[in-house]
């Protein structure tokens, strides 16, 4: 039977590459988006993947969104919590709003979406939850106390939920991409971006497809024993044991 996957923030950047890779691998895919209507329309036109507009940081809109997706293409087997934003500023300049917006989109979303699919996955004894964290949640990044905290929070969430679901056929993993060639990374000033690339042993940015390939593996039956883990895709920029 064809499996159903949701990719949050799935119409742009790393998320779009993940949506396309899962489609290519034979999944029925729903991509969510929030702000960029034009990009979502172009993505659907190009790929044929339906895009669903809702705020993943808000539990009630997620509940309605997941219900609609389930009615349209079936019960969710694979959830990729990818949606994320940055609001970079040194802490001594950061506003409460910059903190809250990042927590809302990058961390609350992981609870909301996972909570809404976890009961069904447990009942059906199969599920894959793949959370997109970041190198900056592992090692910290200047200007990103908000984003680093949210992305580190995702790692704790992943480990705890993996243990809760271990006997239920549901795996929960995190991927921590390094600097990937997306609009989000290109928004950093050219001078700072050059400093970052200089620190990457591979001397280049990663490609969204290089993260998507890891998602496809973790979603597969072959990855059944991999759970509670953090997989890095970072060009050896940050190596932890």
Q: Which residues bind ligand CAA (CB under 6 A)?
A: 86, 88-90, 134-136, 141-144, 147, 179, 184-185, 188, 191-192, 195-196
In terms of Cβ atoms closer than 10 Å to its own Cβ (0-12, 13-18, 19+), residue 194 is: exposed
DSSP string, 5-63: EEETTTTSHHHHHHHHHHHHTT-EEEEEESS-HHHHHHHHHHH--EEEE--TT-HHHHH
Tell the smallest beta-carbon distance from residue 190 to ligand CAA (Å): 11
Tell the smallest beta-carbon distance from residue 66 to ligand CAA (Å): 25
Whether 179 is a known active-site residue: answer no
Tell the smallest beta-carbon distance from residue 132 to ligand CAA (Å): 9
Find the residue with minimal CB distance to ligand CAA. 143
Tell the smallest beta-carbon distance from residue 197 to ligand CAA (Å): 10
For ligand CAA, which is the closer residue by CB, 86 or 109?
A: 86
For ligand CAA, which is the closer residue by CB, 48 or 190?
A: 190
* Measured distance CA(35)–CA(130) in Å, rounded: 23
Best CA proximity match to 3, nearest among 20, 19, 26, 34: 26
Report yes or no: 175 and 229 within 8 Å, Cβ to Cβ. no
Q: Is 143 helix (H, G, I), strand (E, B) or coil?
A: coil
Q: Is 179 helix (H, G, I), strand (E, B) or coil?
A: coil
Best CA proximity match to 161, nearest among 176, 171, 175, 148: 171
Which entry of 27, 33, 52, 147 is annotated as an active-site residue? 147
For ligand CAA, which is the closer residue by CB, 61 or 141?
A: 141
For ligand CAA, which is the closer residue by CB, 55 or 88?
A: 88
For ligand CAA, which is the closer residue by CB, 31 or 135?
A: 135
Tell the smallest beta-carbon distance from residue 109 to ligand CAA (Å): 15
Tell me which residues are annotated as active site.
147
């Amino acid at each position: 039977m064809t499996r159903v996957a949701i990719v949050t923030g799935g119409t742009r950047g790393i998320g779009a590459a993940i949506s396309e890779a899962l489609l290519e691998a034979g999944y029925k895919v729903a991509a969510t988006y929030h702000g960029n209507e034009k990009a979502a329309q172009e993505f659907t036109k190009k790929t044929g993947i339906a895009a669903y507009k809702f705020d993943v940081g808000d539990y009630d809109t997620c509940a309605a969104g997941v219900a609609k997706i389930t009615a349209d293409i079936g019960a969710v087997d694979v959830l990729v919590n990818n949606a994320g934003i940055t609001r970079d500023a040194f802490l001594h300049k950061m506003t409460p709003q910059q903190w809250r917006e990042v927590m809302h989109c990058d961390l609350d979303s992981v609870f909301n979406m996972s909570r809404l699919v976890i009961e069904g996955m447990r009942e059906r004894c199969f599920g894959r939850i793949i959370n997109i964290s970041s190198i900056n949640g592992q090692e910290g990044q200047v200007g990103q106390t908000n984003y680093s905290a949210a992305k580190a929070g995702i790692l704790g969430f992943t480990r705890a939920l993996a243990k809760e679901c271990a006997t239920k056929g549901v795996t929960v993993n995190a991927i921590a991409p390094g600097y990937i060639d997306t609009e989000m990374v290109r928004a950093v000033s050219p001078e700072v971006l050059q400093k970052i690339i200089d620190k990457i042993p591979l001397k280049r940015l990663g490609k969204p497809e290089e993260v998507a390939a890891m998602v496809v593996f973790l979603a597969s039956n072959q990855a059944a024993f991999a759970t509670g883990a953090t997989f890095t895709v970072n060009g050896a920029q940050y190596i932890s044991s």
